[in-house]
Structure 1
Amino acid sequence: MTGNPGLGRLFAAMIALIAGAAVLLQVLLGIEAVQARGGSALEGVILVFSYFTVLTNTLVAIVSGASALLGERDGLLTRPGTRAAVAIYIFVVGVIFAALLTGLRPMSGLTLAVDTVLHRVVPVLYVLYWLLFVPKGRLSWRDPLAWMLYPLLYVAYSLLYGALTGRYLYPFADVTVLGYGGALANGLVILAGFLALGLIVVAIDQAMAPKEPA
């Protein structure tokens, strides 16, 4: 069962505002940091949106905003499958940050606050939204394969970005340290994790589906 649709739309609107504001502030902070090193504002924008965290929080803001405005009206952004996929993506953001990235960069003030929202607050809120308010029983076992497209494209992009700029965005994908073999192996492990999570989400969806009358 899912919660009250009206409350779900309010919850989605809150998530959209929080995620959207955090992404905007991260872009401004990124531009400022890049310009301080002599780069351009455009370089700052490209760098910020090259991070999986920022891209995925942007997806959360867009999908949550559409859900708040349209409710359960059918559309690409409001389909249960789309919202389930985004829940997986943002869950991975939170898990990888907690397991592998916490404490790698000293932060304080606004930078720390924005980082906390992007990596901790939004993942928790959006996963709760999916569990409590998104209709269940509408996913299929084929869906996790389609959901793999976004992380697969990101892995390819991050390797290309690193090759072109010499800057690898995450330590587990740093070809200069791991070599292409190590970076690709880590990428395959992460992709396998996305697939496993997709199957778990479908199982949860089916377990929470409304029961047919006897």
Structure 2
Amino acid sequence: MKTTLSTLFATIAWLAVLTQYYLMIENRVASIFETTIRFFSFFTILTNLLVAIYFTLSLIRKKNGSLSIIHKPGTLTAVTVYITIVGLVYQIILRPIWDPKGLQMIVNELLHSVIPVLVIIFWYLYEEKIPVTYQQIPKWLIYPLIYLIYILIRGDFSNFYPYPFVDVASLGLSKVLTNSAGLIVLFICISALYIKLGKTVMNKK
């Protein structure tokens, strides 16, 4: 069952990411090179790509060597935290200001709604929850922090910011840093919540 779900979820994630890239290229307002850079500047895209890679590599049962991190307790929880943030931020902040149509609407729902739910289900079923500790949270924050630094530096040169709440040109650096701090707090809270829920679920079994 785990292999079947991994295969299905990997297929859905790859399909959604690749279709979104196709749509961005088709509707580009900049060169293909610049559009590609912008594509990989969205946390949604990077995280769904991470999900696709995770499920693909999880099909490889080798639990030692370079792929061992895929099977370590906490890796799935980290991926689940990231994609949960993608879903929450979209539903709360971005959905009211974004009204896609047609194929874009379908892909949008896959990236922001369907895939987060699928990952959460997989986490519930297959994560080794007891060994996951709160001490792992600082390591999980490395990815969003590097992402934040990247988009702020690149935005300063290109004047392209992937999300309105990190748009320094419109909001100013002080407001953006405040928004970013709030998101980091949200990351920490969601991470702690998953760890707590995982231990609670296991203790009840």
Taking structure 2 as the reference length, the TM-score comes to 0.92
Name the residue aligned to 1:32.
26
Q: Does 1:60 align with 2:54?
A: no
Give the one of 13, 17, 29 matched to 1:19. Answer: 13
SS of the residue 2:54 aligns to: helix
Distance 2:179 2:61 in 1: 38
| Residue pairs, 1:1-214, within 5 angstroms | 7-34=1-28, 37=29, 39-70=30-61, 73-74=63-64, 75-209=68-202
1:99–1:162 Cα change, 3 Å: same
Taking structure 1 as the reference length, the TM-score comes to 0.88
The answer (yes or no) to whether the contact 2:73–2:132 under 8 Å persists in 1 is yes
The answer (yes or no) to whether the contact 1:9–1:69 under 8 Å persists in 2 is no
Paired letter, 2:33:
L
Distance 2:137 2:17 in 1: 27
Give the % identical residues: 33
SS of the residue 2:71 aligns to: coil
1:64-122 superposed Cα distances (whole Å, 9 cap, x missing partner) = 11123328x35112222111100000000000000000042332111111111001110
The answer (yes or no) to whether the contact 2:129–2:195 under 8 Å persists in 1 is no
Distance 1:61 1:148 in 2: 20
The alignment yields a C-alpha RMSD, in angstroms, of 1.8
Structure having the larger proportion of residues in helix: 2
Name the residue aligned to 1:4.
none
1:95–1:204 Cα change, 3 Å: same
Paired letter, 2:51:
V
SS of the residue 1:70 aligns to: coil
Distance 2:202 2:137 in 1: 18
Distance 1:205 1:135 in 2: 8
Query: Shift in Å at residue 197 of structure 1?
Result: 1.3
SS of the residue 1:209 aligns to: helix
Query: Shift in Å at residue 32 of structure 1?
Result: 1.8
Q: Structure 1: 5+ residue runs without aligned partners?
A: 1-6
